[in-house]
Copies of this chain bind each other. A is one copy, B any other.
């Protein structure tokens, strides 16, 4: 049986690398990537402070970059990996994109979209979470501990 090199944990580690870039820039550390056929086609990290733009979340940056790359506003056959549960704005954007699959790491009970339910996503979008949960949660905990 061949070894699957590119699994969800592999891609989530790439999203974590993006989150670390956000942290290094003083931004809340959230990172995202978009894959298509096991290839990374877009990356993004939170840049709300640097760009002074509340919409500059990792997911929005990654999904618009992926649409640019594909020349198509729809992300059919794509997976978005993100270190933190998306907020309702990002869930709404992902719904419009019709992305095939969303994988997130840490939960966000206060700001995450799950408070409003999966109906915020496109009905065809598959959802998984908890991948590298501890590493993804640690990003946030460490960031806010250092802020204090």
Contacts and interface: CB of A to CB of B under 8 A. Distances in A.
Interface of A: 48, 52-55, 60, 63-64, 67-68, 71-74, 87-93, 95-97, 115-116, 119-120
Contacts of A115: 119
10 contacts: A48-B73, A52-B68, A53-B67, A54-B96, A54-B97, A55-B96, A88-B89, A89-B92, A89-B96, A116-B116
A51 to B, nearest CB: 8
Contacts of A53: 64, 67, 73
A71 B97 CA distance: 29
Given A89-B96, A120-B116, A64 B71 contact: no
Residue in A52, A90, A95, A97 with the greatest tally of chain B CB atoms within 10 Å? A52
A62 to B, nearest CB: 11
A97 B48 CA distance: 11
Contacts of A55: 55, 60, 63-64, 93, 96
A27 B53 CA distance: 25
B54 A88 contact: no
A45 to B, nearest CB: 17
